[in-house]
Amino acid sequence: MTDTQTADAAVTSPRREATRQKLLDAAALVFAEVGVDAASVEAICEHAGFTRGAFYSNFETKDELMLALTERVAGEKIDEVAERVAILQARGEDLEPGALVRQLLDAAFDKKQGILLTSEIRTRAMRDPRLAATYIAWQTGLVERVGAFIESLAQTYGFRLRVPATEFAGLIIQTWEDTSAFAVMTGLDAEDAHTLVNERTARLATALVDPV
């Protein structure tokens, strides 16, 4: 590669990444609004402000975009939880298990769009083995990371877990996601949905912990 080609690559790479992220943002909106199957490449491009050419220069198919979006959603949730753990440990507040879990997951609480998107991904994954493998992988990674956070916080706050930390995390996340979906289906507004999710996850966390 010549110096000119290297310079061109350095210039175009950030631009291409920006285009890719805008397409993912648009896809998240369209998928949540009409569902994955009904979402067209044209609609995604229109929301992003790009042509079909821009789409196909970044993704071969809509399914490939879906896989990339699945991975991004997972990464964002893990980053949010990690940030909240750092904040909690820095504060050193005296919190009971339910309140601790509420604060741990509160940062990553999904609004309606995020809940619909996650539900769409899960539904699609049930019919698509490739997407299912990706979904299971990031879900497993999320549970393991949250489990590590839970174990660290249990040591910090002196809690004794009644089940292994990863199992604890899996039960909490499942309750969190299922309750979020239930809140959308029953038409709860954002505030009431948030309250319901907090109450259920806190109740479960309390049942799974023995204070030392």
Could you state, in order of their start, the residue ranges of all structural domains in the chain? Answer: 1-59, 63-211
Nearest to 105 by CA among 210, 206, 207, 194: 194
Query: What's the pTM?
Result: 0.74
Whether the Cβ atoms of residue 125 and residue 131 lie closer than 8 Å to each other: yes
Confidence category of residue 110, pLDDT binned at 50, 70, 90: low
H/E run at residue 53: helix 52-56
* Least confidently predicted of 9-13, 33-37, 87-91: 9-13
The Cα 158–Cα 166 span in angstroms is 18
Q: What's the whole-number mean pLDDT along residues 20-33? A: 90
CATH class of 1-59: mainly alpha
* C-alpha closest to that of 154 among 90, 199, 95, 109: 95
CATH class of domain segment(s) 63-211: mainly alpha
* CA dist., res. 101 & res. 106, Å (int): 8
Q: Using a CB cutoff of 8 Å and minimum separation of 24, what contacts does 209-212 make?
A: 209/97, 209/154, 209/159, 209/160, 209/161, 209/162, 210/159, 210/160, 210/161, 210/162, 211/96, 211/97, 211/158, 211/159, 211/160, 212/158, 212/159, 212/160
Amino acid 106: pLDDT: 67
The pLDDT-based confidence of 186 (bands split at 50, 70, 90) is very high
Which residue bears the tokens 């292994």? 164
Instruction: Please indicate whether the domains covering 1-59 and 63-211 agree at the CATH topology level.
Output: no
